[in-house]
Structures are given as structure tokens and as C-alpha cells.
Structure 1
């Protein structure tokens, strides 16, 4: 191999490449709500520049000085990030519904310490957390978190390669190329597999993104040896730029990142960098090195930080699902002004302070001071809502202040309802899920892998009845009322619950995993031969027709009925196209928006009634009168929030429903005799 040329000179086409990547990220986020591949270009470029820098240190014999490098890099990254974090925290406290404060605080901490990608990953696969459904204004920090993690890991790997090269006498570049080649192959294979099986987690997983950094590092290592002719470089530049621009526009890749589809923008970026600065009037670099493009590249970091927070805050304030062309232009313009001010007044002055960068202690001190500057108001906000939550819990002990569903009981007028704070607290919603009891004992635990979740309520004396509950999160939410009912009547109650999987026979409207689980649940019940099964028989919808029988429901319960097993089919609660808990914070509990008409969210006749008249062993259990009044289905009842999100009941409210649930269930089935 020829002696590599020095690669640390300023590369204006790379600055322009960052500008293009940033531009498509912003445009796609604001107007299209789709994956663009621009972030993947950023990841590759960051690893390319990092590896290029350390390779030049090895070539020139300069020591690595990792502590100085880390102090310098994070003292440059953190100040703009700290400003955006503080501004977003202030916007969250001022404008966002209180129901979202706990999530915002969690994401702010995660962003500050560069672990936001993991917070998003685990939140994306947590069905209960996902019910918040509204995007976090800190969500875009996931990519900065991965970069921060790599900025720590990559220099350590390069230092290890350098040490190995000195001991063995082998080429540093060759050893580094082998290492990053292995990382590239393993991470890409893992990324493709995880994207196909668990894309929501894979999207934020550091491990599925390492190959993008490895590709950038490989490019930095081999680029000095690549000397294609000018015509080839012109073709490479335009082909690479086209791949970046059209990824996501022509090729639909929304659910395919970061697997094989991410090769399109990253290889495109590699082609643009390989093409370099041709100096030819027909070269892509002529566009990339134009003054406006380079200026945009200069504020790309700050613009990336600002645009998402501004966008989400705008959507919260306007309560719109998207933005118009004019609104999008305003958001981009406002973000651009904020980015320019941040770059001009913060980022550039800090870069020019040579006294700071020559002293790693001063850089580290600045980084720590900025982190503390964000942590103090964030901690104060967290303490404030924690105190509010504890106060509400103490007040909730006086049940007469928060009767909840009791105001719908016969004889209760609701006219003497005291003016009391609403419960549960906005920050306590993570605890508002029903508990179906301890895990099943060995004698009742299913052996099928599709039935991972099995809970069992076992009476102290001999069971008078064995009841199996099969359902999803809507069955789980009723557990605070079903469990005490089972305990009072000495029932053995076994619960087979799986989020987002309503019980029924095989149906194309359910995914393969859910169909397999339902088949396994059916076989389990038939083998156990319990006295009864409780399921949800209807499924509610956000829009017309509002509700209907669960897909393939009758076929699903037919084996139970034929075996003489009774079935209690519960009518689903309403489902809304908006967040009911947040509605109260935005509009007030008495507003029309938070009290939709009953006949607008539910059918006049329970869809289960006709089926129940044909099947003597099927009992229709309708709890609607414990959730809705005769005319409305409100967000608040008896000073208790009914819903925690769009369609799930709060545990606190269901607890107040216990007498009504017990009465309705026993009256419909006759099990109380």
C-alpha cells in the first residue's frame, strides 16, 4: 500500500454533507413525519472525523491524551445541549399537560447523561409506557446519546489497537481495519435481525447502530489510499448525494431502520466523502461547498437540537396532529434563528477559547458546571411534583372526598360532592395498572411458551369456583375490582394476560404472536376444564363504528361453550381519539371536549346482547353504567380521573367501581348463589 496522505485538513464537502443531512432531517420531521436517513449520515460522519483525527495522531507520533480529548469534545457538545435542555424543561413546565411531566423529567435526565436512546428503547417496547403515545420533546437526543457513548468507546478501541500495533509491529491501520470490519459485520447482522423481529427497540439500540460508526471508521482508514480519477469522483459524488436525498422519499424505509435500509444513506455518504472536493464545475462538491450550504452546516448541530423541541412544543400548544406548510415554515425559521444565536453566542466563542481547550481541567470543570446548571432546575421540578403526588395520596385516604364511581351508585345524587383535588396524581400514572396477583403455582402454570404471563388468586379455603381470565390490558385494568370479588367468594382465579392481544380465534386482524397465544390459551382452558372463563367480548374504536364484537370472538369461545364452560363476556369501555387525562389539564374537567356524549362513543345496543340470547352459557357483562352517566362518558367522575390515557381506566377509579363490578358480574352470571 502506498503511504497514506494526511487527512486532517478541513474538508468543506463534509461540512456541506452535514448541512444536507440536517436539512432532510428537519424537513422530514416537520412536514412528513417520516424517517429520512439523515441521522445515519451524521453518525457515519462523526466516526469518520474521529477516526481520521486519531489515525493522524498515530501517523505523526502524537500521544492520544484521551482525558483531554473527552474534556474538549464534551465541553463543546454540552453547552448548546444544556441551553436546549433548559429551554425545553421550562417549556414543559409552562405548557405541557401535567400528566406528561414525569415522562419529561425522565427523558431530560436521560438526555443530560447521554442515555436517552435506552430510555426510548425500553419505552418503545413497554406497552404501558407507550400509551402516552405523544412524542417527547427530548426524543431527538437519542442520536446524541449514541454519539456520546461512541465518543467514549471509540478512542478506547483505537488506543487498544495502537498498543497492539506497537507490541506486534503490525500496521495500526490494518489492525484497526480488521477490528472495525468485525464490528461492522457483527453489528449489521444483529441490526438486520433485530429490526426484523423488534424494530421499535432496535431503532434506539446502540448495538444496532455501531456498524454505521464502524463504516465511517473504515472509510477514514482506507480513504488516504483511495485515489480515483476525477470523472469517477464526479459520478461517486452525485450518486451518493442522490442516495441520501431520495432515501425515505422514493424508498419507504419507515419500519426498516436501522437494518439493511440504513445502508442506503450511509453508503451514499461514504461515496460523497470518497469523491471529495473535485473542484470541477459539474461535481457534487460544487453544491456542497457553496457558501449558504456551508453556513447551514456550521449551525447544523444547534439546529438539530432546537427543531424537534420547537416542533413538539408547537403541537402541544396548538393541539394539532400535524403542521401546515406555513406553520412548518415558521417552526423551521424559529429553529434556525435559535440555532444561529446558539452557535454565534455559545458554540463558537467556546471553540475560540484556547485557554480552555489547552487545559483539560478547565474543560472538565465547564462540562460539570453546565451539567449541574441543568440538574438543579430539573431536580427542583422533580421535587415539586413529588411533593404534589404525596399530598394527593394523603388526601385520597379520605374516600368521601374522592368517591369516584360511587357517585353513579343508586341513591347517590352527587350534589354534595366536595371540592377536592383530583386523584390520582399526574406523576403517579405508572402505578395505575391493575395487579392480577402472584405468579401461577406449578400445578396451574402453563407449559406453553406463548403463555409467558400467568397470575393466580388462590383462596384460603377450598375453591368454590375456578375462573380463568383471558385478555389484554383492558382485562388487566379490571383486576382491582375482579380480585377482591374472587377473594370474597373463594374463587380460584387464573389470569392469562397479554398486552394488545384480545382473545378470539385465529384472525388476520391479529398478528401471528397473538394468534399463537390465543390458541395456547384455548388449549390450556380445555385441559384445565374450569367452571368459567372471563373475556372481553367487544372491542372499542376511536372512530365509527365505535365498537363491535372482538374479531373471531364467537369462534374463539365456541370450544368453551361446547365443553360446558360458562363464559362471562365483558363489554369494552370507550376509546377516544385524544388523551382523556391530558384533556382535563388543557381544558378543565367540565369542558365539552372532556365529556363526550355517550351515544357518540358507544353504540346504543351492546353488541353482545344478540349473541347472549343465543348462547345460554354466555353471559353479557356491561359495566358502562359504572363508567358513563346516562348522557356522557366523562374524563372525571367523583373527583377521580376515569382514564389514564386514550382508553385505559385508572386503577384508582376501578377500585371505586368494585361494588358495581361485583354486583353486575354476579347478576349477569348468577355466580353469587
Structure 2
């Protein structure tokens, strides 16, 4: 009969065996990490398509993370979650901070000033690991054709998701520890159930949301969790899988060929991260399962080679530096994509910087023992890293705010805007004053009303709750005016607000991005919102509805037209005695006039467009003027005076982007607009 000592020894041996099963360095996976990042770089630079490399990178991160925690669980050692969290961000932040600071320097030197405020905001979002949500809620199109307009921090979305998972995953391991602490269950089966549930739920969410709102879903952490869960399930399963040598060779090469070809064989644009992402992930999983084949013909002979394993150490740095270098080059050269020769140079420079940063910064800091002495030291190192970005960004923003306040005090004298077009106007301001709004103020140039709709103006339609705003309640208003439509009508409202305040009108706005106000058929993307807006307007019965009546021509030669369904809208509201004022649409350009003026000067011919290239010879909505309840309003002479669309009028920028007016300029149009809408 075995003694207690022998039983304890047997338990220890079994524990050691279980721990050893999940131990050991996997050089072929480290080489795979580099290949995944290299695919990302190559596809970004040369093809401007999704490769699946980022998804593989996320899977490998979860794979290694899971192996580490399973060893802790099987050995019975403490999980030390607090120390783990501090340690992982102490390891990740230095190179990220170095990249952020370098990118901010590049932005300051080379980027249009109009983009600086957004870049500063994203710099903070990056080091706080929320860049993916910043991009999602900013409605960024990851597949935009012109990469020169992309954020130099856009690639940090995946690292933000990874950072969030590094916070979440240890909680799942902690749950497994609690469930197996005193019961008969072993950690690995429990973890398999937990990660299986995450995989199933997240994949289902990813597939559904990709079909309904792909642009948002691309950056949505919830739609990416299944990729990490697959990596964790792979880590749990691999020690139990022992395919023969021939199968390992075949599996490895099939996985490698499939992984490299995914973005070449099919254009997955708009499909990620739904079910299509299974292709690169299962390809990578095949390589991991193949492992070390022991065959001279196995793909692992390449992946586990010394050069690839060494470059695998630099893969994190390579991913960090390649994107800001690419975007800076495109901004400097004013190109939408890189050419073959410039692309090769960008990749080689990125590789060199990545290797240097890894050896000079990352490795020495990893070997530095002071932060590892206790959690307080770790916390200090993390705080210092964050402050290296937060402090300069905050000071930079504060300096811009002080400058903006000083200029605002003199704005009436120095920046008259549309008032400069009045007959007999004489400019008496500072001729050297910069045009307004300043680039740092562009984020404040979207027009808005101060309060959500309430009282009798509160919408009953659920779809309108987030889109309805009003001015403070006016007792016995001279008029109740409903401003309804898309973002162009929102900008025109900047000229209406001062008139409404002057005459004591009650303003209510229902603004839905991308949807001009009209009667739209079922199946149209704007049908539901517009029908709800129509019902709302008919219920509150305003004196006047103001909206856009036309859709401007584009510089590609398309014609200016009346908005589809607008005549039916006018007749429907007119039958209820509601007057409709239709604003002619403002011009739409294929470039950003604000940035053009910054780069080349407001008087440069490249920044000026004849009005007949972006609008028709006549306002097409004038054809509806025979309806007594309709007024056609054309502000083109204020926006593009003398038949020429200029970026600056009266020392005020007219446009904030390719097709939206600045609130500053719209406000300056109010005196000229007043007699047209008060008569």
C-alpha cells in the first residue's frame, strides 16, 4: 500500500507532466508571427487590401497567453492578475509610446494642420487602448481608397483590441481557477467550455453585424473576441494532437499556401471580420498543429529558422512603425497609394527601424529589473509611459485653445466671412490675421442645437430619439421652424440659428446623416427614418419646414438633380398647410478645400473650382416654385461668389471638408439670409 509520501510524489509528478505539456518555446509559431505581420505590411503598402495577417497576429497572441496561464493553473501557482496586468502593459507601452511620439513629430512637420486635432485625440486613444472604438464611432472606412487621408494611428485599432483582451482574458482564467479550486473539474476542460462559449457567441455576433454595419463591426471588440477564443482553444488542444510526420508536412504547407493566398484569391473587402476571417485563422491553426515536423521538407524548417525567429521578435515593432511611415509618405507626396519602388523603400526602412527599436529599446527595458521588484514599481513605469504622451498632447492642445481664444476676440473685425460680399464693404481688420476657424477648432464646426427634444417636441418615434434636438423652449414663438434632413441641412442651420434667435423663433431639428428629407419607397435605406420624420413633422405641425431640395453635381460630371421624392414631400406637407423652404445643395468636391488652402495657399488655382463644375446652370428645384407653399432658396452666390468656389471668403474658411460648410462661415451668412426667410 502506497504511503502518503509516495502519493504526494505521484501527484507532483502528474502535476509536472501536465505543466510540461503546455510548456516549451515554439519557434515555428514565433516565425509565423513575423510572417503574419509581414503580410499585413505587404498588403498595406502594395495591395491596399486585407490579408488576414492581423487576425493571425491576434490568434497567436491568445495562443501564447493561454499557454502561460494554463501552466499557472496546472501547477497550482498564483495567477497574480494585478501583477500580470501591470507587467503586460509595462512591456507593451514603451514601443507604442515611442511610435506615438515619433508619429506626432511627423504630423507636426508634414501633415496638414487641419488634421492635427484628430491626430492628437487618437494619440491619447492609442495609448489608452481604445483606438478601435474611436475609429468605430468616427465611422472610419477601413477600406477607403485614398490611404493618404487615413489616420497615422489607424493601425493601432488591433493593438487596442488586443489590450482589451489582455484585460478580459485573465478574468476568464480567474473564473476557471475558482471553478476548479475545490471541485473535481480540471482547468483545461473548464477553459475549453468558457472559450467555446466566447467563440460561438462572438462569431455569431460578428457574422450578423458584419452584414448590417460592416464599417463599425470591423473595429468592434465584440466581433473580434472569437478570433482570440480560437487561439485559446488551439492552445488547449495542440498538446493532445499528435499527427504523424507526413501529415505534419502536408498540413503545414497547406496552411502556409492558404494563409498567403487568402487576400489574393478573393477580395474580402467588406466581409471581415465575419465568417471569411476563418480562412486565414484556420490556415494559421493548421501550421500551429503541424508544429515541428522533424522533416527537412516541412514548412517549420523555414518558420523556425533563425532569421525568421529573430524577426519574429521584431514583429511588434514592425507592425507599429510601418503604417505611420506609409501614411506620412503619402501625405508628403500627395498620393493615394505608394508605388512599387517607394513601397519597397518604406518596407525596408520599417524593417530597419523595427529591428533597431527592438534591440535598443524593447529588449533592454524587458531586462530592466527595477520595475519588476514590486507592483508599485510596475505601476510607476506604466504611469510614466502614459504621461509621456498625455502631457505633451495636453500642453499642445491647451496652447492651440489659447491662440483660438485670442483670435476669437478679434474675429468680428478680422474675419467677416460672407459679410465681406456686401456692397460697399470695407475691410478694416488685420490683414495678417489667420483665417478662421483654426485647424484645432474644426471638431467644433458641426452645427447643433443645445437640447434634446422635449415636451410637445419629444418624438414618439424611437428611430428619431437620437436625432431630434431643439433650442430652449420659446414662449409664444413668432414661428416654429423644423429643420429636417441630412448633414448638409445641418450646416445650413448654422445660418438659420442667428435669424431664429433674433426673431424669437422656436427651432427643432431632426437630422439623419446621409438621408435628405423626402418621400422614399420601402427598401430604400432612408425610408424608415424619413417616414418617421414625416409623421413627426405632421404631428408637431410647425409653421415652416426647412430642408435641402437638390443633390449637387459631382466633379465627375454627374448632373445636379432634385432629391428623389422631394416633390411628393412638398405636396404632402403643403396639403397640411406647412410651408416648405428648400435650400439648394452646396457644392461637393473631390478634394478638401481646407487642406488645399493650408498646403498651397487660398489663392492657388488648385483650390478654386468654377461653380459650373459642381452645380447646374440653374437651380433644378425652381421648377417647383409654382406651388404656393414652397419657397426655393439658393445661397450659391454666398458660397461661391462671382461663379468661383474659393476655400476662403472674408478671411473665413468656407468648407471644413470636401462638402460641408464651416459653422463659422454659415453663421456669417445669416444677415444675407434673413430677408429671404423672414419675408
Query: Could you state the TM-score of these two structures normalised by the residue count of structure 2?
Result: 0.89
Please report how far the alpha carbon of residue 502 of structure 1 lies from its aligned counterpart in structure 2 after TM superposition.
0.9
Structure 2 counterpart of 1:264? 279
Structure 1 position 480 matched with structure 2 position 494: yes
Where do 1:172-187 residues align within 5 Å? 172-187=187-202
Please report how far the alpha carbon of residue 306 of structure 1 lies from its aligned counterpart in structure 2 after TM superposition.
0.2
Structure 1 position 636 matched with structure 2 position 648: yes
Whole-angstrom CA distance in 2 between matches of 1:557 and 1:236: 66
Q: Secondary structure of 2:414's partner? A: coil
Structure 2 counterpart of 1:151? 166
Whole-angstrom CA distance in 1 between matches of 2:171 and 2:475: 63
Please report how far the alpha carbon of residue 419 of structure 1 lies from its aligned counterpart in structure 2 after TM superposition.
3.3
Deviations 1:21-56 (A, max 9, x none): 111111121222222211111111111101112212
Structure 2 counterpart of 1:501? 515
Where do 1:533-552 residues align within 5 Å? 533-540=545-552, 541-545=554-558, 547-552=560-565
Whole-angstrom CA distance in 2 between matches of 1:409 and 1:662: 14
RMSD: 2.9
Please report how far the alpha carbon of residue 339 of structure 1 lies from its aligned counterpart in structure 2 after TM superposition.
0.9
Contact 1:456 1:493 in 2 (8 A): yes
Deviations 1:609-667 (A, max 9, x none): 3x13554543321101111220421111111121121111111111111011122345x
Structure 2 counterpart of 1:669? none
- 1:62–1:331 Cα change, 3 Å: same
Whole-angstrom CA distance in 2 between matches of 1:368 and 1:459: 47
Whole-angstrom CA distance in 1 between matches of 2:65 and 2:543: 67
Q: Name structure 1 gaps, 5 residues minimum.
A: 667-671
Q: Secondary structure of 2:645's partner? A: coil
Q: Secondary structure of 1:620's partner? A: strand
Contact 1:459 1:490 in 2 (8 A): no
Tell me which of 605, 610, 632 is aligned to 1:592: 605
Deviations 1:298-325 (A, max 9, x none): 3211100000111111122122122211
Contact 1:581 1:643 in 2 (8 A): yes
Structure 2 counterpart of 1:308? 323
Deviations 1:114-141 (A, max 9, x none): 2222222222279xxxx99932111211
Structure 2 counterpart of 1:516? 528
Tell me which of 168, 186, 209 is aligned to 2:224: 209
Structure 1 position 430 matched with structure 2 position 451: no
Contact 2:450 2:469 in 1 (8 A): yes
Decide which moves more: 361-370 or 142-151.
361-370
- 1:57–1:463 Cα change, 3 Å: closer
Contact 2:418 2:668 in 1 (8 A): yes
Whole-angstrom CA distance in 1 between matches of 2:298 and 2:57: 22
Contact 1:15 1:298 in 2 (8 A): yes
Please report how far the alpha carbon of residue 364 of structure 1 lies from its aligned counterpart in structure 2 after TM superposition.
4.7
Whole-angstrom CA distance in 2 between matches of 1:133 and 1:499: 24
Whole-angstrom CA distance in 2 between matches of 1:393 and 1:417: 13
Please report how far the alpha carbon of residue 456 of structure 1 lies from its aligned counterpart in structure 2 after TM superposition.
4.3
Q: Name structure 2 gaps, 5 residues minimum.
A: 1-13
Please report how far the alpha carbon of residue 211 of structure 1 lies from its aligned counterpart in structure 2 after TM superposition.
1.7
- 1:663–1:562 Cα change, 3 Å: same
Structure 1 counterpart of 2:181? 166
Tell me which of 635, 658, 664 is aligned to 1:623: 635
Whole-angstrom CA distance in 1 between matches of 2:371 and 2:662: 53
Structure 1 position 118 matched with structure 2 position 127: no
Contact 1:622 1:664 in 2 (8 A): no
Tell me which of 29, 46, 49 is aligned to 2:61: 46
Please report how far the alpha carbon of residue 485 of structure 1 lies from its aligned counterpart in structure 2 after TM superposition.
2.8
Structure 1 position 294 matched with structure 2 position 322: no
Contact 2:413 2:428 in 1 (8 A): no
